[in-house]
Amino acid sequence: MALRDQVQLITYADRLAGDLPGLARLLRSPELAGVFGGVHVLPFFTPFDGADAGFDPVDHTHVDPRLGTWDDVRDLARTHDVVVDLIVNHVSADSPAFRDVRERGDASPHASMFLTMSSVFPGGATEADLTRIYRPRPGLPFTPVRLGDRWRYVWTTFTPQQVDIDVHADAGRAYLTSILDAVAGAGVRLVRLDAVGYAVKTPGTTCFMTPETFAFIEDFTARARERGVDVLVEVHAYYERQVQIGRSVDLVYDFALPPLVLHALYTGDGAALVRWLGMRPANAVTVLDTHDGIGVIDVGRDQTVEPGEPERPGLLTPSQVDELVEGIHARTGGASARATGAAASNLDLYQVNSTFYDALGRDDARYLAARAVQLFTPGIPQVYYVGALAGGNDVDLLERTGVGRDVNRHRYTPDEVAAALVRPVVRALLALCRFRNTHPAFGGGVEVGLAGSLLSLTRRARTAVASLDVDLATGAAHVTWTGADGATGTCDDLLDLPGTW
């Protein structure tokens, strides 16, 4: 199976293997042979340890020398399909360009690169204009900053340390093109557009996933393809919008899958999950966990409905979403509650911060069943590094930093990685990944069935068949497949999945 179609790892270079060369050595080690055909390396730009763990780059075209060089990225791309973040919405307030604008104001050659309230609303904004703006955190997306000789309201969608770019200005386009050139030159063939849903601000709209946003994505994708680079769009949004996005881009995340899998395994009811499996975009990257939290907005009602419009219900009802969130908090012993919302410095309105393993109460059988559902679902599977090692919530790190997402961003030592790789649940997950990478049935479509609490997923390509049955009420999972000799293989306990088939 081609590298692009195999399971991919999501990881920080420093938190799993120290740096980029260390990450390459680990991925090429005997323990991980055949497990990951690709790797999404989370931001390694200067600085990788800023205010938002690398998502606030001062210089997006340079690798932080503490992690390596572009040559190290190029070396990793020799053996793995490398995915890199392009942070198109904002840069660090400490970037040289914005520091110059702070010093010189409109006289700076970079002045047009950054958005202010007045550059989006030159005639002024009404209360209706401002309340219509959609933001993933409380309050308005503006920060007062002195630019040259006057105070301005700078547009800051996420934090005051992350200043939004005018993606249509010549300076903004040139900046984003320089990043594309840097990653393409390092052999990267897939980029993830981080927070792209907020990248275009259009007066009188929600400024989120508007027609103008889609036009920008289309234009940026065309520029990327000219350089041999495909585009993965990262947007947390109402599920119908995800389906719409999937029609317009190379790849889109399936962010509805994680909460629906949890809901199904919590309640024994797979109806919402099966409904989604019947409508989801085929060109999806499937995840259960990422460097962010477990999204709930992706299965809830549409939060961008205008006043007077009818409500658009979600894949789960409001009470089901509430029960899901409380279920995560209960199974994590309250750790996720301490790491989420106003309890931590990340005031995201749509995510619960926890590892997926802890969200399932560290139940190995249910965890492997969840992973099997992910791997049997069509798309490109990505497994977050903490999830790959069946890691628990790092409450100590959370208490040290006060950053909610850090509960799911453990810094592994080499000894911890070695110890995790011999745990039965981890060995079983790695075997599942090898199975997904090599069995020819995964080159075909999927057939989905639900009888009571029994969920079945069958992948079929010509004569090759692989089937998964999961009792959602108990977490028990059963896999069958056709072997190379045509005989049928079977496994009644995922902890015992064989290494050959």
Residues recognised as catalytic: 194, 234
Torsion of CA 279, 282, 284, 287, to 10 degrees: 60
Label residue 31 exposed, middle or buried (CB < 10 Å: 0-12, 13-18, 19+): middle
Is residue 378 within 8 A of residue 254, CB to CB? The reply is no
Is residue 43 within 8 A of residue 33, CB to CB? The reply is no
Residue 276's closest CA among 249, 242, 315?
315
Cis bond upstream, residue 259 (ω within 30): no
Q: Which two tokens stand for residue 420?
A: 């995790």
Residue 412's closest CA among 382, 383, 387?
387
What's the N-to-C CA distance of the chain in angstroms? Answer: 15
Residue 115's closest CA among 172, 59, 58, 161?
172
**Nearest-angstrom CA–CA distance, 76 and 318:** 44
Is residue 157 within 8 A of residue 139, CB to CB? The reply is no
**Nearest-angstrom CA–CA distance, 129 and 27:** 49
Q: Which two tokens stand for residue 81?
A: 């399909």
Beta pairing partners, 165: 114
Q: Which H helix or E strand runs over 488?
A: strand 488-491
Is residue 367 within 8 A of residue 355, CB to CB? The reply is no
Q: Which two tokens stand for residue 340?
A: 């989420």
